[in-house]
């Protein structure tokens, strides 16, 4: 791939890699025997005069200069846990709530989705039924003051905004709102409440008898959301399913097991886990699933990790469906999260998981050396793996067999049955610039803001596309980008036209309709989705 496209891919890699490293979790409610073991270990440590405590005490009493022992302890905890493996992590108390919210079914806050543009907090959407909607906030509003203090400028970060807007249920926050078309600053006092967190981005009929379900994580409520999505799609005529796990970095192991159970006949192995202090645990299907006889395709890519790989591995090893996409991340380690006395926590690797054929898909790592491990996906990109199947290298040369005798390999992710390369035919230096500087997204928001009244007339993505296709979106965007310093290059714009227009229409639609207005537009020309539809159509014709 040409160097001019390098930064476009790097942005995607950096944006997604951090979520994967937090990894797959065992839900403690279902593994109480390990909770007891864990407690015993820490009890023994607390009773002993361990070297770390001695060192801290000596430094505190005798070191030549004053040292902040609390900060030093935090740094030591981070380094200590990092020496174990790439997925065991120490979580400081100040970060624990945000980290946990990734997998919990809800959090408490004001109920808005926001982005920071031009050093200002822009409300992208207001969650239906949430505190902000009840108070009268609107998509497009700018939050410029919080609790009577100016809250904008170059130092504003997503983390700072979350800390300001989230808080305990029934607590209040005062906001100063700048609204387009209104000269004066609007004041709102909002009482925080519980905000649901969805882990199903969308479920819709992608073809006459095929339903697509896009799962972004395996969280507290994912299984119940999944059942609801399946029931809805079956009611709409779905007899086959596409489960999209691309960019899904994992989550709770037991939720993945429950979801896989929906597709497998009774007494088939889903996954097994085992560790030094963790007896082997086999998860088997019970035959109660709602989709045992429905054809299924699973979509994965290089950012599908842990629970996503368990799902894909179980479907593949049991020859239950087709896996389409690119080689997955390669995380076969399972963590248990345990709290510490000061409000912090650790996620400690306690076991490895194995697919039904017996393979571990964990890619190689060296204890205490996470740099090479973290760079693996980037190195895979440089090696050309995203573009040609022949460039793929898995560490484990041991042959494993699926239920029907097909050969599969471990030691570095799940290899798809059908490989789909990244499409770079539309990549140009012009596209690289407008993506890197977020001009596509920013234009879409500005366009939505300017035309919100008209756009709000369209209630589904097809109607939205019909309207946007009648507008001069490309010309308006090119002028916008030129005003931002990106010179128009007609030849490159022509080559990238489909990418630009598809993403502009998807972003604008999401600003009005949410994710149900976003993904169907993005997936119209998605080669992986279209291949899945083709595979399921052929199965139906047999």
Domain-wise residue ranges, the chain: 1-103+198-422, 106-196, 429-527
Give CA 141 to chain center in angstroms: 26
- Please provide residue 145's backbone torsions phi and psi, each rounded to the nearest 5 degrees: -140, 140
- Helix 461-468 with 439-455: angle, nearest 10 deg: 100
Architecture of the domain defined by 1-103+198-422: Alpha-Beta Complex (3.90)
Q: Which residues are catalytic?
A: 306, 317, 331
Phi/psi class of residue 416: alpha, beta or left (left: φ > 0; alpha: ψ in -120 to 50)?
Answer: beta
- Count of Cβ atoms closer than 10 Å to residue 94 Cβ: 12
Give CA 328 to chain center in angstroms: 14
Q: What is the pTM of this model?
A: 0.86
Which residues are CB-neighbours of 149 under 8 A, at least 6 positions away? none
CB 19 within 8 A of CB 331: no
3-state DSSP percent of the chain in helix, strand and coil, to 5: 40, 20, 35
Which residues are CB-neighbours of 274 under 8 A, at least 6 positions away? 280, 281, 351, 352, 354
As a CATH number, domain 106-196 is: 2.30.42.10
1-103+198-422 and 106-196 have identical folds: no
Q: Which residues of 462-487 are buried (b: 16+ CB within 10 A; e: fewer)?
A: eebbebbeeeebeeebbebbeeeebe
What's the rounded Cα separation, in Å, for the pair 138 and 511? Answer: 11
Q: pLDDT by residue for the chain (542 residues), tens digit each?
A: 444 455 554 444 544 555 565 556 776 444 444 444 444 444 444 444 578 888 888 988 998 999 898 888 888 888 888 888 888 989 988 888 777 776 776 788 999 988 887 788 989 888 877 899 888 888 888 999 999 889 888 888 888 888 889 888 999 999 999 987 788 899 999 999 988 888 999 999 999 999 999 999 999 999 999 999 999 999 999 999 999 999 999 999 999 999 999 999 999 999 999 998 889 999 999 999 999 999 999 999 999 999 999 999 999 999 999 999 999 999 999 998 889 988 999 999 999 999 999 999 898 887 766 777 777 878 787 777 877 777 666 666 678 999 999 999 888 899 999 999 988 899 999 999 998 888 998 899 899 989 999 999 999 999 999 999 999 999 999 999 999 999 999 999 999 999 999 999 999 999 999 899 999 999 999 999 999 999 999 988 77
> Which residues are paired to 366 by β-bridges?
369
């Amino acid at each position: 791939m040409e160097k001019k496209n390098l930064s476009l891919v790097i942005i995607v890699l950096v944006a997604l890699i951090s979520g994967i490293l937090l990894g797959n979790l065992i839900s403690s409610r279902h593994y109480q025997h390990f909770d007891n073991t864990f407690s015993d270990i820490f009890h023994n440590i607390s009773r002993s005069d361990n070297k770390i405590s001695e060192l801290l005490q000596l430094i505190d009493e005798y070191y030549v200069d004053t040292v902040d022992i609390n900060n030093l302890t935090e740094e030591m905890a981070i380094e200590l846990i990092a020496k174990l493996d790439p997925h065991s992590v120490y979580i400081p108390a100040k970060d624990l709530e945000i980290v946990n919210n990734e997998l919990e079914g809800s959090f408490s806050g004001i109920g808005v989705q926001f982005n920071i543009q031009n050093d200002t907090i822009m409300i992208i959407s207001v969650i239906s039924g949430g505190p902000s909607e009840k108070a009268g906030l609107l998509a497009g509003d700018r939050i410029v003051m919080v609790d009577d203090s100016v809250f904008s400028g170059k130092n504003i970060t997503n983390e700072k905004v979350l800390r300001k807007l989230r808080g305990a249920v029934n607590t209040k926050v005062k906001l100063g709102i700048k609204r387009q078309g209104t000269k004066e600053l609007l004041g709102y006092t909002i009482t925080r409440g519980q905000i649901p967190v969805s882990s199903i981005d969308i479920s819709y009929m992608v073809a006459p008898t095929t339903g697509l379900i896009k799962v972004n994580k395996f969280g507290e409520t994912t299984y119940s959301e999944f059942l609801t999505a399946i029931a809805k799609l079956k009611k709409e005529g779905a007899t086959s399913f596409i489960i999209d796990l691309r960019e899904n970095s994992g989550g709770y192991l037991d939720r993945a097991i429950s979801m896989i159970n929906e597709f497998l006949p009774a007494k088939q192995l889903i996954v097994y886990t085992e560790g030094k202090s963790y007896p082997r645990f086999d998860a088997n299907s019970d035959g109660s699933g709602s989709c045992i006889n429905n054809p299924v395709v699973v979509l994965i890519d290089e950012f599908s990790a842990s629970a996503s790989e368990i799902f894909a591995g179980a479907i593949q090893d049991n020859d239950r469906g087709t896996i389409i996409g690119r080689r997955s991340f390669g995380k076969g380690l399972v963590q248990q999260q345990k709290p510490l006395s000061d409000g912090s926590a650790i996620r400690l690797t306690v076991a490895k998981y194995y697919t039904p054929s017996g393979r571990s898909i964990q890619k190689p790592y060296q204890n205490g050396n996470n740099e090479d491990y973290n760079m693996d996906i980037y190195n895979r990109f440089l090696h050309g793996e995203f573009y040609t199947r022949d460039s793929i290298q898995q560490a484990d040369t041991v042959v494993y067999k699926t239920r029907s005798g097909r050969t599969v390999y471990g030691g570095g992710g799940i290899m798809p049955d059908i490989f789909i390369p990244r499409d770079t035919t539309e990549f140009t230096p012009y596209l690289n610039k407008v993506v890197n500087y977020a001009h596509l997204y920013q234009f879409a928001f500005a366009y939505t803001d300017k035309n919100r009244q008209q756009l709000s007339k369209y209630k589904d993505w097809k109607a939205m596309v019909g309207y946007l296709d009648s507008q001069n979106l490309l010309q308006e965007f090119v002028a916008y980008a030129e005003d931002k310093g990106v010179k128009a290059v007609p030849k490159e714009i022509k080559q990238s036209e489909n990418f630009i227009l598809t993403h502009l229409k998807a972003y604008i639609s999401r600003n009005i309709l949410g994710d149900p207005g976003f993904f169907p537009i993005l997936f119209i020309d998605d080669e992986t989705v279209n291949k899945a539809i083709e595979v399921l159509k052929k199965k139906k014709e047999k």
